[in-house]
Structure formats: structure tokens, C-alpha cells
Amino acid sequence: MSIAPAPPVPARRADRRRFEWRGYVLLSPALIATSFVFAVAMAILLSYSFREFSQGTIQSGHSTATWRAFLTSSFSWSVVGTTLKLGIVTVVATALVGYPMALALHRLSSRTLRYLAYFLIFSPLMTSVVVRSYGWALVLGDGGFINNLLLRWGVVDLPVRMLYEFSGVTIGLVHILLPFMIFPILSSLQQLDPMLEQSAADLGAPGRTIFRRVTLPLTVQGVIAGSQLVFALAISAFATPALLGGGRVQVLAGQIYTDVGGLDWPNAAVSSYVLLVLALAAIALFSAVLRAQTGTARANWEYAR
């Protein structure tokens, strides 16, 4: 799931000239499995995107008809729009919720409490997405937990519709993806030299200024890395939009599922590749931002010296 940083690789140049057969032998089972189930299958999928579905069957022969139909249909674009909106809103919400949580976690002085909080944050990752979506359906439904409280306290007269709405899907996704935002932020906080914050305090900077000028700029990389992960996972999410959107929140992943069920494989193949291109573009974009940010941070550091 993660776009984990590659481990340090020494002596890269030496790779070019060597043909160490033992390396190839060790890698071959993994390469064969991945080539077969992933690469060959994805290539077949690509070829299906150049077929056409009409009169209830997939026509023989290749054409760009399905691609053209997808790219000129306003429905397709609205699905792409909803998918991207879901990705963006989820990233913003997880960052706004995740950053203060990570900061609070980092500053907890009690070791026991810190481990307990870690455990509570990361153990839901082990619970199935279906279970957690089901939980949110119970919490957000018209007769659910939240509406029951709101009605009883007289905050609203009618139940607030959240289940089977965009808002419900977003809440469910934020819940599922929050750990993927907290973890990178936490590790950037751990790499932050506490002396920097201490020096700023010694020089008389108030807490808010220290946060704005020292802590946040030096940990924004964690936010970008977390956003990259959360965005890529949010736009590809299938179960949560399907279960909490109830057919009213149409995203690409759900569209693929519906089309496969309706035997329109060519259109499902096009949607799959559109989703893949969106994920790749987003990952490239966030990586570029991360590089630019690292460059700026280093330049500032050099300048300050």
C-alpha cells in the first residue's frame, strides 16, 4: 500500500556491468508470479479496452470506440469528478484530523499512554473494511447513533442524511485511511531535532510561532507523503463507496464492478486504466511536490548557515 522509500542501495553503478546469475535465480519466482498474474493480466486488460461492447456481447476486432465513448460521455466525467473530489476531500480531512493527533501523540510524555494510543490508532487496520463500513452505516443511518443523539438533544427536527450520501462515504474513508496519514507525520515528527524547537523557545518565540516557523515547515514532508498514500487509496477505494454510498455516490471503482457484472468488460477495462492513470498522475505530482519541498528546505538550511 505504501510508496515506501527505496532502501539505500550502495554501488549503483556496479549493477550495469555485472550479470550475477545467483541474483536472477533468487528473484525469478517473484518475477514470474508478478509477471504472470499482474503484468500479463494487465496487458490483456489493456487489449480489452480496445474492444467494443454492443448488442449484449463483446465484439471481435479492435477499435478505439470504447475509449472515445468514455471520454465524450458526461456521465463518465461526472464519475471521474466524484472520484477525484472524494480523493481531495479525504486527503484534506485526514490531514486536518491526523496532524494534531500525530502531534499530540508525539508530545505525550507517558510511555504507556503513547503505546496505548498507538495501539488504538493502528489496530483498526486489522479489522476488515466491510466491518468498519458496516459500523459507519449503523452510526450514520437515519435511525442511527448520531441522528438519535441529535434528535434527542433537539439539535435537529429531522434526521440528517449522511448514509448513502457523499458525506457518509467521506467519513467512512477518513476513518479507514487516517492511520496512513498519521504514520508518515509521526515519523517526520520523530526525525525533527527537538533542539530546534527548544532554541526557538529560548530565543523567546511564543508557542504558536514555534509551530508555524519551525515544527510545521520541518514536518510538512510527512503531510505530503501521507497525502500521497491517502489520495491514491481513496480514489481506488471500492467497498466503502459501494456500501456507504448505496449507489448514489458513483466512483470509478464501483463503475468497474457494475460494468463487469453487466458483461461490459471493455468499458470496465477503460475505467480501470483511467483509474490507474489518475493514481499514477497523483503519485507523480505528490512526489514532485515532495522533491521541491525538500529542495526548498535544504536551500533554507544552507542559507541559514
Partner 1 sequence: MTSGRGIAARAALSSFLVLGLVFILLPIAIVVVNSFNASPFGSWPPPGFSTRWYTNMFENAGFGDPTIRSLQVALVSTVASLVVGTFAALGIARYRFFGRRAAQGFLAAPLIVPKIAIGFAAFILFLKLEWYGDFLTVALTHLVITLPFVVTLVVAGLTRVDRTLEEAAMDLGAVPRQVLLRATLPQLRGALVVAAAFSFIVSFDELDASIFIVGQQNNTLPVAMFIYMEKYQDPTLAALSTILIGASLIGALAVAVVIARIGGLRALAPARETAPEEAA
Residues 117-146, interacting with partner 1 (CB under 8 A): 117, 119-139, 141, 143-145
Q: Does residue 257 bind partner 1 (CB under 8 A)?
A: yes
Of 8 and 74, CB closest to partner 1: 8
- Of the pair 9, 74, the CB lying nearest partner 1 is at 9
Q: Which stretch binds partner 1 (CB under 8 A): 62-70, 74-82, 84-92, 252-260?
A: 252-260
**20 is a site residue for partner 1 (CB under 8 A):** yes
Minimal distance, residue 259 CB to partner 1, in Å: 9
Tell me if residue 58 falls in helix, strand or coil: strand
Quote the DSSP letter at residue 169.
Answer: H
Distance CA 152, CA 143 (A): 12
Residue the block writes with cell 456481447 = 57
User: Which residues 6+ apart lie within 8 Å of 162 measured at CB?
Assistant: 140, 141, 146, 147, 168, 171
Closest distance of CB 139 from partner 1, Å = 5
Q: Which residues pair with 194 in a beta bridge?
A: none
Please give the Cα distance from 282 to 295 (Å, whole number): 20
Taking CB under 8 A as the binding criterion, the range among 29-37, 62-70, 71-79, 84-92 that sits at the site for partner 1 is 29-37
Closer to partner 1 by Cβ: residue 74 or 298: 298
Q: Which of residues 50 and 134 has its CB atom nearest to partner 1 in the complex?
A: 134
Least distance CB 94 / partner 1 (angstroms): 11
301 near partner 1, rule: CB under 8 A: yes
Cell of 109: 510524555
Q: Which of residues 217-246 bind partner 1 (CB under 8 A)?
A: 232, 235-236, 238-239, 242-243
Residue 262 lies near partner 1 (rule: CB under 8 A): no
Task: List the grid coordinates of 78.
Answer: 461526472
Q: Which residue, 169 or 232, is less far from partner 1 as judged by CB?
A: 232
Of 25-33, 59-67, 71-79, 285-293, which part binds partner 1 (CB under 8 A)?
Answer: 25-33
Q: Which of 234, 279, 239 is nearest to 257 (CA)?
A: 239
By the rule CB under 8 A, 304 interacts with partner 1: no
Nearest Cα neighbor of 240 from 82, 134, 81 is: 134
**Ramachandran angles phi, psi of 18, nearest 5°:** -90, 145
Task: State which H helix or E strand residue 54 sits in.
Answer: strand 52-54
- Interface with partner 1 in residues 50-79 (CB under 8 A): none
Decide: is 203 part of the binding site for partner 1 (CB under 8 A): no
Give the Cα separation of 280 and 272 in Å (integer): 12
> Does residue 207 belong to the site contacting partner 1 (CB under 8 A)?
yes
135-194 positions binding partner 1, by CB under 8 A: 135-139, 141, 143-145, 148, 175, 178
Q: What is the 8-class DSSP label of residue 193?
A: -
| Assigned C-alpha cell, 242 | 459501494
